[in-house]
Structure 1
């Protein structure tokens, strides 16, 4: 792909101003100075109206520079002043956004009075500082392809007050060392949002040397996911007035006072709490079971929620493919581990499980590799209209870069059903033959001689029979996924601390509704006629097909409509609210002995 220079784009914009064509410039369409009117001439006001009216064919979108508007007006009022040097020196603002610019060439130096340069959403990978005008005060480079700042900081614009570097691949130790007061003595506002900075303490130490820094944007970096952010930034940068588009008030600064002195104890790892609450709308699996079904096998259903979360063993620089992870995790899942599910006490909750699984991920250079994830399942519950799992799990992740990618990708959640078939155990007793009449008489004589003994023998036989019937052998559990949903978590990267959603998985069908019972249904036409006759009969019993009867029938049908399955899920980032809270978490034993808080 051929490179596109910045000067070629700006020259094209200037040519599109048409400064020498109608209604601009000196042409036969202008009235003479003596005021003599000629055919086809226009006065100055009419020409200016043709430039400014949005419905005019000579109106242009000039949002790329405010000076473009005044330049066109000057081309009508004083066209003789428009020579090349005047045009370049007239511009103080250039906004070249999403134009495919990849190279900042020396042609930019023609704009000797340029103060604001906005180059967002282009393809710039390097910023040669020697091609930037020394008068520059605002430089916006958001959403480009920057991966280093060395070329920009070799001779940065000395008067620069605003630097926007958000949404770039910056984050190395060299980048941190290039963000000090030595390179940027006049910098007031710095935007580093949505970059790849991992070391919070190193970056804040460098930014503390900026003598004029008042506004700072850091949200979207991996280190902002740790509990100590933004408290550590507030305490480390005492001159800061605005952080992440929010004012830093004295109350907030007081709450985090002294946190910077504890930086040696602060670890760069994130802690997230995933909570699964109530599930409603699940259809009863035994509702449509045929009454003529045999007694065995005994079928027990239980339900649980599963999701996969990034574990701290995940390698660096990986792109997460959660759908592939779900498939491979199911292959690696140990199904036999749940074979001891209780048949008669399924209503009791089992301990929440976290099984190690595998996740297919893709590197940028090569093909796919396998990374470790944690597959988490809630307790198993038998069916009820409202199943309250009340499951909470804390995930601690030290690979912050991978966690950011995972949160941007989102979390997949599944509702799973487990079915266990139980069969009667094989009896070891020798089957007894039918006794003859003599034996009956003999037993009868024994019964008459000792009625107490006979009764005891009968009870013992009855207990033995009962015990034999209740001894069941369970098959290996059969699991199937009933439905899944994707939960976006990108807002956690963008600064939110909690995502709480009510997941709507729609209408789910139980196994009995999807099973082979459907093959024995009657002819559809006959079935509809029978249902209609039944409804007519019920309507007559309710008092005919009058208005009241129809309303009552509608209410009955409304009550029987299936409800969508919903699950309450929340994901919350741990964030310290004060220095005292951080001290309590970092020094639990010391806090229990002494109630003193940390102060400066």
Structure 2
């Protein structure tokens, strides 16, 4: 039996030949051979009955049982090779297959060898490296074509005389989305198409795509989730109203009530805005240890230390770049879209319509920037209540951002406050030592025993002085990555309780570092003394050093045991958590679309 030959290893024909050869249609227990028992042959140990040979093909522990998931016709073909091996000639084998599933085999070329499968109806080529499929290499009998997760970047080769009976076309997770691709998704190219999968592609122009899909007369099932335009408020309502014959959208049946809710939306094209509205809410922050819990009660009055806490996270921001004729550029950055941003958009459109003699041009850029919430003083539960709505026009960039997710951090701000320099307030001088304090007591005693007239003046001098703050000291207490892929797929809202783990106060960290340093110094001193004792020699000194070292060892153990039995261990600490939600605006009805505020009003920060 002679099958496909002389083909590159990355072609579809080469992979199919490999799979057919693995069926062993001419080898034991299939095909002709001395192992077959017939009427003329005598019984012997080297021959098997037909039923026994069939059992070898299906028995789970049989070494002759092969993986046949690539085609449901493969096991039936092997049985025929046992029962009637005389029927298995080359053309019969090719024509026997109606379904082929070659998944993740590194196929990059669909060659004309596939035409030998003249009765093929289903072809699944998911997760390969195919960049184009010549339609002339596809059998005309094909009804199902699955090309999910390949490297297709254009549809022109596929739509050049495609299979006329094709009912299902899967193009998900490919680099498709240009206006040229939209032109090839019409009823002229696919007159019998019933199901179409365009999920996780790069289509951004919802109106143009739906105008093309409207020409597919038999389209009933459509998958569009994962495309950038599905992040806009008008999805899925505009899709449902644009395709009245559609029964299923994104794996969900379209109920009659849903269709009635969006009725009339397709006629309101002025409401179609290719922008997404994403609202980020930062709620309660819990689990931060009290920074004053470990402070020394005998510490000086100054400096006054205050701690405040806030959240920072990354999100998309709008940036307008003014390019001038002299080559210079002016960058205007805003935290999300504002009224000024939208006015800048209009100016950019006006500038682009001017002749080339213009002095400068505007370009809008969307980039990732950091957002900070308001600062709150420490409490067990700090309700930040930070709400920010972002209007993003670059839907492709927003899709990539959601797939990466955002990074959230908890930060602490420490501020030292000192009394302002004054000749009257001498008692608040921070550089005074303990000895000076003792000396001052004697000098201040006569003032205390003075007349009553002096007392009010003394009170004024000792009143709370004006404080001057140092530059704030900030440190990041912890960070966490928040996945947002669900917003690209099916989710409209993501609620997350971010867990940053258990944190320790700054004083606890410093105390731990000090204990480690002291412990290291003691070990070095003990080693040094041991060396000196060895150099001096003598039994008396050895005994002294030995007893001394034992005593020191006990002291060290007691000291080491005192550390973990402190107050910090007795009180269990809870992890630091932050409430976060990211929600995409979606119109739930046509009336809601009419009542929706303009993009200017959507950009709010509260």
TM category (shorter chain) comes to 0.7 to 0.9
Q: Find the residue that maps to 2:408 and give its secondary structure.
A: strand
Q: CA 1:161 to 1:516, structure 2 compared with 1: closer, same or farther past 3 Å?
A: same
1:188 equivalent to 2:194? Answer yes
1:406 equivalent to 2:438? Answer no
Q: Find the residue that maps to 2:202 and give its secondary structure.
A: coil
Distance of 1:10 and 1:314 partners within structure 2: 54
Matches within 5 A, 1:54-453: 54-313=60-319, 372-429=367-424
Q: Find the residue that maps to 1:562 and give its secondary structure.
A: coil
Q: Is the 8 A contact 2:317 2:336 kept in 1?
A: no
Q: Is the 8 A contact 2:185 2:213 kept in 1?
A: yes
Shift of 1:575: 0.9
Q: CA 1:73 to 1:314, structure 2 compared with 1: closer, same or farther past 3 Å?
A: farther
Residues 322-377 of structure 1 deviation map (CA, whole Å, 9 limit, x = unaligned): xxxxxxxxxxxxxxxxxxxxxxxxxxxxxxx9899xxxxxxxxxxxxx97433111
Q: Is the 8 A contact 2:425 2:465 kept in 1?
A: no
Q: CA 1:30 to 1:279, structure 2 compared with 1: closer, same or farther past 3 Å?
A: same
Match of 2:341 in 1: none
Distance of 2:128 and 2:263 partners within structure 1: 41
Distance of 2:239 and 2:484 partners within structure 1: 24
Residues 513-539 of structure 1 deviation map (CA, whole Å, 9 limit, x = unaligned): 12268527987533356689x99xxxx
Equivalent in 456, 459, 463 of residue 462 of structure 1: 459
My pick for the range that moved more, 261-270 or 17-26, is 261-270
CA RMSD of aligned residues (A): 3.0
Q: Is the 8 A contact 1:75 1:82 kept in 2?
A: yes
Distance of 1:157 and 1:525 partners within structure 2: 84
Match of 1:334 in 2: none
Equivalent in 570, 575, 584 of residue 581 of structure 2: 570
Equivalent in 548, 556, 561 of residue 572 of structure 2: 561
Q: Is the 8 A contact 1:297 1:422 kept in 2?
A: yes
Match of 2:557 in 1: 525
My pick for the range that moved more, 71-80 or 31-40, is 31-40
Q: Is the 8 A contact 1:314 1:372 kept in 2?
A: no
Q: Is the 8 A contact 2:226 2:489 kept in 1?
A: yes
Distance of 1:355 and 1:216 partners within structure 2: 33
Distance of 1:21 and 1:308 partners within structure 2: 63
Distance of 1:355 and 1:66 partners within structure 2: 55
Residues 138-164 of structure 1 deviation map (CA, whole Å, 9 limit, x = unaligned): 000000000000000111110000000
Shift of 1:588: 11
Match of 1:329 in 2: none
Match of 1:340 in 2: none
1:583 equivalent to 2:594? Answer yes
Distance of 2:300 and 2:426 partners within structure 1: 23
Distance of 1:582 and 1:127 partners within structure 2: 41
Q: Find the residue that maps to 2:169 and give its secondary structure.
A: strand
Q: CA 1:150 to 1:247, structure 2 compared with 1: closer, same or farther past 3 Å?
A: same
Q: Is the 8 A contact 1:355 1:374 kept in 2?
A: no
Shift of 1:470: 2.6
Q: CA 1:108 to 1:530, structure 2 compared with 1: closer, same or farther past 3 Å?
A: closer
Q: Is the 8 A contact 1:314 1:402 kept in 2?
A: no
Q: Find the residue that maps to 1:152 and give its secondary structure.
A: coil
Q: Is the 8 A contact 1:309 1:374 kept in 2?
A: yes
Distance of 2:507 and 2:192 partners within structure 1: 72
Distance of 1:401 and 1:582 partners within structure 2: 23
1:486 equivalent to 2:481? Answer yes
Distance of 1:558 and 1:287 partners within structure 2: 13
Shift of 1:428: 5.0
Which 4+ residue blocks in structure 1 deviate beyond 6 angstroms? 353-356, 520-523, 556-559
Equivalent in 469, 472, 477 of residue 477 of structure 1: 472
Shift of 1:44: 1.1
Distance of 2:336 and 2:190 partners within structure 1: 49
Match of 2:439 in 1: none
Q: Is the 8 A contact 2:9 2:15 kept in 1?
A: no
Distance of 1:507 and 1:94 partners within structure 2: 54
Unaligned runs of 5+ in 2: 1-7, 322-334, 339-364, 428-442, 520-555, 601-606
Distance of 2:73 and 2:63 partners within structure 1: 20
Q: Find the residue that maps to 1:13 and give its secondary structure.
A: helix
Shift of 1:378: 1.2
Match of 1:500 in 2: 495
Q: CA 1:298 to 1:563, structure 2 compared with 1: closer, same or farther past 3 Å?
A: same
Distance of 1:143 and 1:562 partners within structure 2: 47
